[in-house]
Structure 1
């Protein structure tokens, strides 16, 4: 008798740095490194980008539009 194994994949969705909401795969979110320190990856959801909500790098404190 053959046994099959089922692997469960965990999908970790990114979180918007501005509004702290999950960014689903189908949404047009973006990620980029902090313009100041380059050490932290900043995620922005589509809505925060359109509304120009500010974001802050938790590593160096840089604030951007």
Structure 2
């Protein structure tokens, strides 16, 4: 079983600190940086249900079924 994100992860800065090692996620030289900053991605628009045609179905409930 592998740890995906945390102390045991070799690819994250937290994992590098835990192991006491260095690499791309935790460079020794602070001036080198960790690459360009990541930009926020806008959320995707909601998908339209292909079975929804916008029609409304009228349902009649027989109340006599619920009486004792």
Q: Normalised by the size of structure 2, how large is the TM-score?
A: 0.20
Greater relative contact order: 1 or 2 (C-alpha under 8 angstroms, separation 6 or more)? 1
Q: Which structure shows the higher strand fraction?
A: 1
Rg larger in structure: 2
Q: Which structure shows the higher helix fraction?
A: 2
